[in-house]
Amino acid sequence: MKINLLERVIFSMDRPVLSISGVSQLFRRTEQRYIFNLLLQTCSKAMPHQPTISEETEFEGSPRRLPDQDAVLVGRVVGDSEFSSLVAYYIYGRGDILLGRYKNQEFVPGYSIECESRLMSACVREFSKADIETELSSVGKALLQAWHFGDLTTLSHKQAHVYALREKAGFSRDETAAILNISPSTVDTHLQRAKEKLAEAENLVQFVQVDSEELADANPEFFDEDGVSDEANSSSDITPLS
């Protein structure tokens, strides 16, 4: 007589090892496990895997971030020079940019770009100004924009980094934290302060662009308080912040 797998589980040496209730529970658990696996497969198809910042690639397969090497992809070398096709990674521990090749799932550096500052955006700017033809990655473009924000506005460079990555480049909170090697809560703090500063600057620009006659009409003593004439306070030379 053939004994199927379930019978082998229930009986051993012609002696029952599971009661009828135990058999019922076994069936229920098997059914529940089947339903769970079916739901899991359905959810996996409905919600495809979203790559993390470490899994995203650019430039034909170079990872955007290499956690094991503390590196972030900022660009590559193009053109016909001897450095053509080398990728550029910013290295946290060194505070500079290394050029090399990504192969066998590892970045192998061969050259370095000297940076006057260890600041991430400053290093990206140095790379973009190097005596070679370069192309910036999505992170590199955002950081170059951040350098200009920090140089031309009241934002600190750390605030500018977060603002450019979050608000201009569209990176998420966690992605920005990973790129800058800071905590997500620090990202929130820098972004909030950056928005406050930019709002203050925008309010100031809007104020100085108000026609002087409108200010005088609103408050006739506005110019008389300091003995300053309407003409002396013309705002025609003041333009909005970019």
Instruction: Supply the pLDDT for residue 54.
Output: 54
Instruction: Supply the pLDDT for residue 192.
Output: 97
Instruction: Write down the pTM of the prediction.
Output: 0.63
Strand, coil or helix: 16: strand
Position 184, amino acid: P
Identify whether the C-beta of residue 74 lies closer than 8 Å to the C-beta of residue 90.
yes
Q: Which residues contact 112 (CB under 8 A, 6 or more apart)?
A: 96, 97, 98, 99
Q: Is 242 part of a structural domain of the chain?
A: no
Instruction: Supply the pLDDT for residue 7.
Output: 44
Mean pLDDT by 10 residues, the chain (242 residues): 44 48 54 59 49 71 91 93 90 88 90 87 92 93 92 90 95 96 97 93 63 50 42 33 34
Q: Is 2 part of a structural domain of the chain?
A: no
Query: What's the number of CA atoms in the CB half-sphere (13 Å) around residue 205?
Result: 12
Domain that holds residue 155: 57-202
Instruction: Supply the pLDDT for residue 6.
Output: 43
Q: Is 188 part of a structural domain of the chain?
A: yes
Owner of token pair 């609103």 = 218
Q: Is 44 part of a structural domain of the chain?
A: no
Q: Is 135 part of a structural domain of the chain?
A: yes
Q: Is 142 part of a structural domain of the chain?
A: yes
Number of domains in the chain: 1
Residue 100: count other Cβ atoms within 10 Å of its Cβ.
18
